[in-house]
A = this chain, B = another copy of it.
């Protein structure tokens, strides 16, 4: 890492890593450019050499999370040992689980309208992977409609869990069970 381009790329990675850690540990308020710079071992102004403004850095975090999710779903798709419907259910559970494990990243992904084209592309890759699973499970006919319904359902379950509006005490049902009911209700009607 002697060359300048290499150290600059390393700094950029360190910035993204620091921002991710700060977000996971302390939520969005903890992600200040000063703190990010400090944790990455650079000054408070250094991020501006790599990102135009703070939101640009946050968008990068969202893209990375989208991409990681796309990889997870892709791996699920390549697992031939399961029934299509079970793989579909696993993919929806992966989204809900992402919300549980990294709530602030999840909020970042869906928080604000994705105006950034790169972010939209990353989200599209997840949707493509997911849509293929839906097609395997319910057939090509109406896969789009069912896919939209399933994604909405899973996203709603994740969202209500995150905002604390899906207490198991109150509704007598867990998020995982809701995902199963969702798949059953949608894919069960289309044999």
A151 with B145: CB separation less than 8 A:
no
Q: How many copies does the complex hold?
A: 2
Tell whether A149 pairs with B112 under 8 Å between CB atoms, given A156-B156, A173-B144. no
> Using Cβ atoms and an 8 Å threshold, which residues of chain B touch A177?
145
Contact of A159 among B127, B156, B170, B182 (CB under 8 A): B156
Cα(A181)–Cα(B112), bound, Å: 26
| Proximity string of chain A (69-106) to chain B, C-beta cutoff 8 Å, 1 when within and 0 when not | 00000000000000000000000000000000000000
A48 at the interface (CB under 8 A from B): no
- Please, how many angstroms separate the alpha-carbon atoms of A100 and B81 in the complex? 42
Across the interface, A182 reaches (CB within 8 A) one of B149, B162, B166, namely: B149
Give the total of A residues in contact with B, Cβ under 8 Å: 40
Interface digits, A167-191 against B, CB 8 Å rule (1 contact, 0 not)?
Answer: 0001111000110011001100100
On whether the beta carbons of B113 and A181 are closer than 8 Å, the reply is no
Residues of B near A153 (CB, < 8 A) are: 149, 152-153, 156, 182
A164 at the B interface (CB under 8 A): yes
Assess the A166–B189 pair: CB atoms within 8 A. Answer: no
* Contact string against B for A residues 140-153, beta-carbon threshold 8 Å, 1 for contact and 0 otherwise: 00001101110111
A-B pairs, top 7 by smallest CB distance, nearest first, are A156-B156, A152-B156, A148-B171, A155-B156, A185-B185, A152-B157, A113-B164
**Could you write out 25 A-B pairs with CB less than 8 Å apart?**
A107-B111, A109-B163, A110-B163, A112-B163, A113-B164, A114-B163, A120-B164, A123-B165, A127-B165, A144-B173, A145-B171, A145-B177, A145-B178, A145-B181, A148-B173, A148-B178, A149-B153, A149-B173, A149-B181, A149-B185, A151-B156, A152-B166, A153-B153, A153-B182, A155-B156
